[in-house]
Structure 1
Amino acid sequence: MAPDHRHHGRMTPLTPRPTMDDVARIAGVSKKTISRFINNSPDVSAAMRARVEAAIAQLGFVPNAQARALALRRSFLVALVHDGSDRGVREAVETGMLRAMEGSELALVLLPLRRGGTAELRAFLDRHAPAGVVLLPPLSERGDLAAVCDAAGTRCIRLGHDGGDSAADGTARTAMADLVRWLLDNGHRRIGLIGGPEDSRAARQRELGYQDALASRGLNRGPWLVASGDNSFTSGMEAACLLLELSPRPTAIVACNDEMAAGALAAAAGMGIAVPGALSVAGFDDTPLATMTVPPLASVHVPWDRLGHDAVMRLAGAASAPSPETVAQARPVLRASVAPIGEAARADLAAQAAIPR
């Protein structure tokens, strides 16, 4: 039975919620001034703002988000747009975005796009009029999706995209080179790479970092030491199986994301190859998955959660929020999946080299 709000045997009327009219009356200003205050208009003076804030505190007034959305012709949704791949990056960005939204009117919605996707994105923007859109890689590399947002008047943040200069690309390329050089400095000479999608600029930059490191030691990777994946666990496992069937096989494998590196760990386990005793494995992005594998996965740390947080702050108009459009400084994080080349790996290399061709 619903409560009847009785008090001492008599009905107690519910206290009506304070309205903008009430706030305007207490503050001694017009309703339009209250609307400007709520919508963070610069036209409200500091003295007027203080009066309105005092009236709001006195009344316990809470602005109606739906009414604000109608007035602004914009909802308080922020869309995180992804292509369904690289779940670890998506979850890390989502965590950061939700942290930034705490206590605000903003709400997060996930929008997966199929290949192409411009018509689907356009329909979403027309239907929901979100406060902003955050594009995840590799979709953030696509100018056509950003153009759809521009045409709709929707703010768009392209995570991991540098807007045309080389800063973000150079950071990822350098970090991958640093990781591969650590393996080289610790005795590994046959290092395989599991690359990302061929149409991904980010994946190409990571492969270039791998090549830079080998070239700096006068080594030639050979095309047979590179296998392609699509950023998924399954593709990483399949690519690792191809690499591990080579003779002599690599003593280390570096993947262009953590999910494919986890697939490489699974492939090694299925083939009875000890990690890191006979094979070192490393990933890229340092998503939460990297600490959940056995052994924990070495990776290149990219602060995706912080980038997601900063994206929301920018969309919310926080002047102090740094731009998330350039990937922040990436750096290798060494964990138990990598080690200096061991005697087992050396012996395996020597034995395979001795097999007649």
Structure 2
Amino acid sequence: MTDTTSRPRRRVRTTTASATAAPSDPVTLAGKATINDIARLTGVSKKTVSRVINDSPLVHPETREKVLALMKQLGYSPDPQARGLAFRRSFLIGLVYDNPTAQFIVNMQYGALDALRDSGYELVVHPCDSSKEDYIDGVRRFAQQQKLHGVILIPRVSEDEQLATALREIGVRYVRIASIPLDQASNMVVTHDRRAGTEAANYLESLGHRTLGLITGPRRYRSTIERGGGFLAGLAERGIELPPDYMFEGGYTFESGVAGAEYLLAKSPRPTAIFACNDEMAAGVYKAAMRRGLSIPGDLSVVGYDDSPLASQLWPALTTIHSPIRDLGRQAAQMLLANEAAAPAVPRTVTPQLVVRDSSQRPKA
């Protein structure tokens, strides 16, 4: 009796599922598709749909094809947080930053998204103020509440050893982007800012500039130490000692670039070239030079850092150090997606390069 009644039920269910799951049949829903809809319309279990989403080898190829076809037809994409609950792990990568320039953070996000595309992971961002005493607690709460798979730390928060320690304590993977190696290789992407600062010094001296000015970033940033230090070292190697009063501590902002240039251009003798440690401050140098009736590069050569879109939009176009910011974000995200057992023996690195444009030339005789 049991066999007689159960067989028709199985046959009816199979026939119905096959009919509703045909990819050629148009399927519409009143609202956004859910994993339950995909399971119901394909005639498989919710667990099977989950296995398809996570590329499990335990699914029959025909079933996988049927589920994927319907997901595509309905425009279904899994919720990362829901997946995290189902599989007891998160599908979210965090990006933590402290007040970089807008273009810097946009490029960094694009790079991370390049790596995460089609991986099933999503990017969530967390701006913070590292000057506040409780900012580490805020980052810790962010990582725990979102159940992050990993965190990308960019300067200046990447330079904070206490933050790295806090993430290790709660078991959250992280990658630090910084000017020098600060951690084990599996946690680092190194940008070699000192090398780039030296290249800027060598270039300006090779043009014949002997009286130069330097506008740095905030002293608490490691990039300030490396970029400015590399510039001073490069000049020293060529027999030029930059006096302390020909240096100005800026804030990586346009306004601080204006203030720094006003200070330096009031010196006697006036600098014939200024190296600004980012493009925003270099743009401020342009404004200060214009106020004084100085032409660039006729009266003043200017070199920036980052090679942001602003560099080619200025007139004349800015000579600058190209920092592959998008590539930094991509590499950091790739490291978090990779198996920890495949960690590199040495830190990943990027190499900044000088891009010569129209804002620099030999000084007037």
1:149 aligns with 2:171: no
The worse-fitting range, judged by mean Cα deviation, of 129-138 and 60-69 is 60-69
**Is 2:46 the partner of 1:19?**
no
Pick the aligned partner of 2:307 from 280, 286, 293: 286
Q: Specify which of 178, 182, 193 is matched with residue 172 of structure 1.
A: 193
CA contact (8 A) 1:78 1:133 kept: yes
Q: CA deviation at 1:332?
A: 0.6
Structure 2 unmatched runs, 5+: 1-26, 31-35
Answer yes or no: is the 8 Å Cα contact 2:213–2:264 preserved in 1.
Answer: yes
What per-residue deviation string (whole Å, max 9, x for no partner) do you get for residues 125-145 of structure 1? Answer: 232223332111111111222
Gaps of 5+ in 1: 1-11, 26-30, 347-357
Q: Distance in 2 between matches of 1:336 and 1:256?
A: 18
Cα distance change, pair 72–290 in 1 and its aligned pair in 2 (3 A) = farther
Q: Distance in 2 between matches of 1:145 and 1:23?
A: 48
Instruction: Please say if residues 42 and 67 of structure 2, whose CA atoms lie closer than 8 Å, have aligned partners that are also in contact.
Output: no
Pick closer, same or farther for the CA change 1:164–1:109 going to 2, 3 Å. Answer: closer
Aligned residue in 1 for 2:67: 56
2:354 is aligned to 332
* Residue 82 of structure 1: aligned partner: 97
Contact 2:191–2:349, Cα closer than 8 Å, also in 1:
no
What is the identity, as a one-letter code, of the residue corresponding to 2:38?
Answer: P
Which residue in the other structure is 1:132 paired with?
A: 150
TM-score norm. by structure 1 comes to 0.78
| Aligned residues of 1:232 and 1:260 also touching (Cα < 8 A) | yes
For residue 24 of structure 1, report the CA deviation from its aligned partner: 5.4
CA contact (8 A) 2:177 2:191 kept: no
Query: Which SS does the other structure have where 1:284 is aligned?
Result: strand
Task: Give the direction of change, closer, same or farther, for the CA distance of 1:276–1:110 in structure 2 (3 Å limit).
Answer: same
Identity across matched positions, percent = 35
CA deviation map 1:5-38 (0-9, x unaligned): xxxxxxx99598322995757xxxxx76765564
1:162-187 CA distance string (max 9 Å, x none)? 23589977832222212211111111
2: CA distance, partners of 1:34 / 1:323: 38
Residue 160 of structure 2 aligns with an amino acid whose one-letter code is R
Using the TM superposition, name which of 60-69 and 179-188 deviates more: 60-69
Cα deviation code 1:273-293 (max 9, x no counterpart)? 111100011111212221222
RMSD over aligned CA atoms reads 3.3
Kindly provide the CA deviation profile for residues 198-227 of structure 1, in whole angstroms up to 9, marking residues without a partner as x.
Answer: 122221111121112211221111111111
SS in 2 for 1:159: strand
Residues 159, 324 of structure 1: 8 Å contact kept: no
The residue type equivalent to 1:300 in the other structure is I
Matched ranges for 1:242-253 at <5 A: 242-253=263-274
CA distance in 2, matches of 1:112, 1:248: 42
Corresponding residue for residue 113 of structure 2:
98
State the secondary structure of the residue aligned to 1:19.
helix
Deviation at 1:97, TM superposition (A): 2.3
Q: Distance in 1 between matches of 2:87 and 2:346?
A: 25
Distance 1:13 1:246 in 2: 73
User: Cα offset for 1:266?
Assistant: 1.4
The verdict on how the C-alpha distance between 1:13 and 1:190 changes in structure 2, with shifts beyond 3 A counting, is closer
Comparing 254-263 and 105-114, the one that deviates more? 105-114
Which string of whole-angstrom CA distances, capped at 9 and with x for unpartnered residues, describes residues 211-254 of structure 1? 12211221111111111112111111111111111000100000
Distance 1:337 1:318, change over 3 A: farther
Shift of 1:272: 1.4
- Determine the structure 1 residue equivalent to 2:87: 72
Using the TM superposition, give the Cα deviation of residue 49 of structure 1 relative to its aligned residue in structure 2, in angstroms.
Answer: 6.8
Q: Is the 8 A contact 1:234 1:263 kept in 2?
A: yes
Against the structure 1 CA distance between its residues 310 and 13, is the aligned structure 2 distance closer, same or farther, given a 3 Å change threshold? Answer: closer
CA distance in 1, matches of 2:107, 2:70: 39
